[in-house]
Amino acid sequence: MKKYMTQTGYYPSIEVVEADRETDISVWIDGRRHNKMSDYDSYFDTLEQAKAHVVQWAVNNLDLQKKRVEVAYELLRKAETVSVKDGNA
């Protein structure tokens, strides 16, 4: 049966693969079991589902990067106002 395998890493991609069999949570490809959903590889029945997964991954990644930038700016603001503590107090 045809499945659409997504890879969400540095370069997200979608590849058509042939699954030997499947259950609710796993697919077998070339005799090896794979979880349908994992951090890097996921398997879908339709191209639309696979594309939606990759797009959502990218949106989540963008949100994370925006938060990191906000934290970095806050650290910069704090660094610009840092003062020397006198150890004699």
Q: Tell me what pLDDT residue 43 has.
A: 98
Per-residue pLDDT of the chain (89 residues), as tens digits, is 999 999 998 889 999 999 999 999 999 999 999 999 998 999 999 999 999 999 999 999 999 999 999 999 999 999 999 888 887 65
Angstrom distance (rounded) from CA 8 to CA 21: 23
In the 8-state DSSP scheme, what is residue 39?
S
Residue type, 18: E
The overall pTM is greater than 0.85: no
Angstrom distance (rounded) from CA 4 to CA 52: 12
In the chain, where are the structural domains located? 2-80
